């Protein structure tokens, strides 16, 4: 056994019960707030960037003399870049340092936002927004969760600050269309990017208060070939999911062409499975590569021991479904109230306010809940409340029903999602020692991105397919019913999560 492998072996003591490393010390409440504020703001701005662009497509296409399809491609490329590079970006935190990686990601993101704000063409905007902001997000998001885990030893304390960060992420995702719509309408679409530059610059200044505890064990070497394989595999899987909006999951809704050649005619098997299949094969190659490197005593991009932890695996499963539900439900409600009810982007953002408030309230209560109940039961309760909210939406919402019919269901969904997002992250991150935080954070963020992409792709396909056979609110009910099914699966996974002492707050 090599020295590296001995140093990186997980401890038999649950991570949340181990004392902080020597010299780290406990942060005071005031110090903790100064540390968590820039982390929460960074999560907010990353979530905001993923949702605000949709309301500005018309203005940007007119300004840059391009097409709506071109801008949708730019939005897709942002998602693909971020999802593909999350694992390599997380590994770099072990090599460059958590705080340095966080600050570098913010800097790259700010440069990308500035280029997008000044862009004279779609190509330049794509470079700034899709690639540089995507790369910046992949570098800055994993350190957010690593730093909270290594700086706060107790589960309840972690729950408090994971709750703050989850609330900020939920707020950014939910309020993105509203804030983006307001800024675009009053100041223009370029101001939305300039606003991001100002916020990120503020975060960089605030981040000076964030300590950077030394990582346990030797500094690993970067597995470049593994990074290429993981990025390529995730790229094709996510691309296939996103293409389902256009081609569907079964029979292709349109001709699939390469250049001027029709590769798959309309009615043939959907090309979605070609891209997902390519991605799965590359990911299989990636896992075989990891195993070869471990057997050779070399540092892999991702340690396979992460997948042998039953608690973490179930936590990752619930995390994936949570993001699928969150993004999928926001997408379903947004499409329904815009296309069926005729609401504007700003009105749509306001309609999602009950869900946003629910996420904020339950995230703020995360510490108190963690002190009273094991994290796994909070996951179960979160799925139960979310499922109840979906049932209320199915029962109350109709094509011409009042606005109030959305409120109870969305509020309960927000409350449930806020509880279980915080708890699932806490379960996953707390299942491993400090030496594995870089690996598990990247894996955790990757499955969250997969859940988000799969959620919007799946319900988008259901909405399109159901629109041809179901009148009125039929497509809405079909998509929401599908999400309810996933919520019940998440409920079962939550029940199966073991309850070790390390997942409950210390008295």
Per-residue pLDDT, 418: 85
Residue 253 has which token pair? Answer: 């809704």
pLDDT in tens, the chain (507 residues): 444 443 444 433 344 333 344 334 567 888 888 999 999 999 999 888 877 777 777 788 888 988 877 787 788 788 888 888 999 998 998 889 899 999 999 999 999 999 999 999 999 999 999 999 999 999 999 999 889 888 887 777 888 888 888 888 877 877 777 788 788 878 888 998 999 999 999 999 999 989 887 777 777 889 999 999 999 998 999 888 888 878 888 888 888 888 788 888 888 888 999 999 999 999 999 999 999 999 998 889 888 888 889 999 999 999 999 989 988 888 888 888 877 777 776 777 788 888 888 888 888 887 788 778 888 899 999 999 999 999 999 999 887 888 899 999 999 998 998 888 888 888 898 888 887 888 888 888 888 888 887 887 788 778 877 777 777 778 888 889 999 999 999 999 999 998 653 344 443
- DSSP assignment, residue 304? G
Start-to-end CA distance of the chain, whole Å, equals: 38
**How far are the Cα atoms of 26, 154, 362, 462, 504 from residue 367, in angstroms, in the given order?**
17, 10, 10, 38, 11
- φ, ψ for residue 256, nearest 5 deg: -100, 115
Contact 391, 461 (CB under 8 A): no
User: What CA–CA distance (Å, rounded) separates 143 from 148?
Assistant: 8
Contact 316, 444 (CB under 8 A): yes
What is the CA 152 to chain-centroid distance, rounded? 22
**Under CATH, what is the fold of the domain 28-222+301-503?**
Growth Hormone; Chain: A; (1.20.1250)
Per-residue pLDDT, 502: 38
pTM, whole model, 2 decimals?
0.81
Instruction: Write down the domain spans for the chain.
Output: 28-222+301-503, 223-300
User: What CA–CA distance (Å, rounded) separates 105 from 113?
Assistant: 12
Query: Treating both helix axes as pointing N-terminal to C-terminal, what angle do 155-186 and 407-429 enclose, rounded to 10 degrees?
Result: 130
């Amino acid at each position: 056994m090599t020295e590296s492998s001995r140093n990186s072996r997980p401890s038999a003591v649950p991570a949340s019960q181990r004392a902080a490393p020597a010299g780290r010390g406990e942060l005071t409440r005031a110090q903790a707030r100064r540390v968590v504020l820039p982390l929460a703001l960074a999560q907010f701005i990353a979530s905001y960037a993923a949702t605000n662009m949709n309301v500005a497509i018309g203005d940007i296409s007119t300004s840059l003399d391009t097409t709506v399809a071109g801008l949708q491609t730019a939005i897709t490329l942002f998602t693909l870049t971020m999802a593909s590079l999350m694992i390599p970006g997380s590994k770099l935190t072990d090599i460059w340092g958590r705080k340095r990686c966080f600050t570098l990601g913010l800097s790259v993101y700010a440069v990308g936002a500035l280029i997008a704000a000044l862009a004279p063409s779609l190509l330049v905007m794509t470079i700034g927004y899709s690639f540089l902001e995507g790369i910046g997000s992949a570098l800055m998001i994993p350190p957010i969760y690593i730093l909270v885990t290594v700086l706060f030893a107790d589960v309840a304390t972690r729950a408090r600050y994971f709750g703050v960060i989850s609330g900020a992420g939920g707020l950014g995702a939910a309020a993105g269309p509203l804030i983006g719509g307001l800024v675009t309408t009053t100041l223009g679409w370029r101001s939305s990017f300039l606003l991001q530059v100002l916020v990120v610059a503020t975060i960089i200044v605030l981040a000076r208060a964030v300590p950077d505890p030394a990582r346990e064990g030797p500094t690993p070497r970067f597995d470049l070939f593994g990074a290429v394989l993981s990025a390529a595999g995730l790229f094709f899987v996510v691309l296939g999911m996103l293409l389902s909006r256009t081609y569907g999951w079964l029979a292709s809704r349109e001709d699939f062409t390469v250049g001027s050649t029709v590769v798959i005619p309309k009615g043939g098997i959907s090309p979605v499975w070609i891209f997902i299949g390519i991605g799965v094969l590359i990911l299989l190659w990636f896992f075989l590569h990891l195993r070869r490197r471990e057997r050779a005593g070399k540092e892999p991009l991702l340690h396979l021991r992460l997948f042998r932890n039953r608690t973490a695996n179930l936590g990752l499963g619930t995390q994936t479904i949570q993001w699928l539900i969150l993004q999928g439900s926001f997408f379903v409600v947004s499409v329904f109230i815009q296309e069926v009810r005729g609401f504007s982007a700003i009105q749509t953002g306001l309609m999602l306010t009950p869900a946003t408030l629910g996420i904020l309230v339950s995230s703020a209560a995360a510490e108190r809940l963690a002190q009273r109940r094991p994290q796994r039961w909070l996951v179960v309760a979160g799925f139960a409340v979310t499922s109840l909210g979906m049932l209320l939406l199915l029962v109350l919402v109709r094509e011409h029903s009042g606005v109030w019919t959305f409120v109870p269901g969305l509020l309960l969904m927000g409350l449930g999602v806020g509880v279980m997002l915080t708890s699932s992250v806490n379960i996953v991150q707390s299942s491993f020692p400090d030496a594995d935080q870089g690996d598990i954070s990247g894996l955790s963020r990757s499955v969250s991105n997969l859940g988000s992409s799969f959620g919007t792709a799946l319900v988008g396909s259901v909405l399109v397919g159901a629109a041809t056979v179901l009148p009125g609110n039929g497509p809405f009910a079909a998509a929401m019913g599908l999400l309810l099914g996933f919520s019940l699966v998440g409920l079962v996974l939550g029940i199966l999560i073991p309850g070790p002492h390390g997942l409950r707050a210390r008295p």
